[in-house]
Amino acid sequence: MNQGTIRTVFRWVHIVVAIPIFGYIYSPFEKLPSYAPATRFVFMPVMVFSGLWMWKGHSVRRLISQRSAQPGHAERELWQK
């Protein structure tokens, strides 16, 4: 996949996962316990991860590619364990 497609997928995941969070915030107080765990432990972490990836994903990819491009990096990791 090219970078544009990956960015579009992350953007749509971020938007779709935000919908239940808006429902959690603006729903009546009596309905909160029914989907609070899913919102707290599934939707919110996925939204945070996708947002951080869209914001700083280029830095993470550059860090990973530099680390794997270093000569002898894999051998050093094996001996350090």
Residues in the chain: 81
**Residue 44, class by beta-carbon neighbours within 10 Å (0-12 exposed, 13-18 middle, 19+ buried)?**
middle
* Spacing of C-alpha 47 from chain mean position: 6
What average pLDDT score do residues 3-10 get? 89
Alpha helix positions (H), 27-43: 32-38
Q: Write out pLDDT tens, residues 33-47.
A: 888 888 889 999 999
pLDDT of residue 20 exceeding 70: yes
pLDDT (0 to 100) of residue 18: 92
Number of domains in the chain: 1
Q: Domain limits at 72?
A: 3-80
Q: Write out pLDDT tens, residues 23-77.
A: 888 888 887 788 888 888 999 999 999 999 889 988 888 888 887 666 665 555 5
pLDDT (0 to 100) of residue 11: 93
Q: Would you place residue 17 in the very low, low, confident or very high pLDDT band (cuts 50, 70, 90)?
A: very high
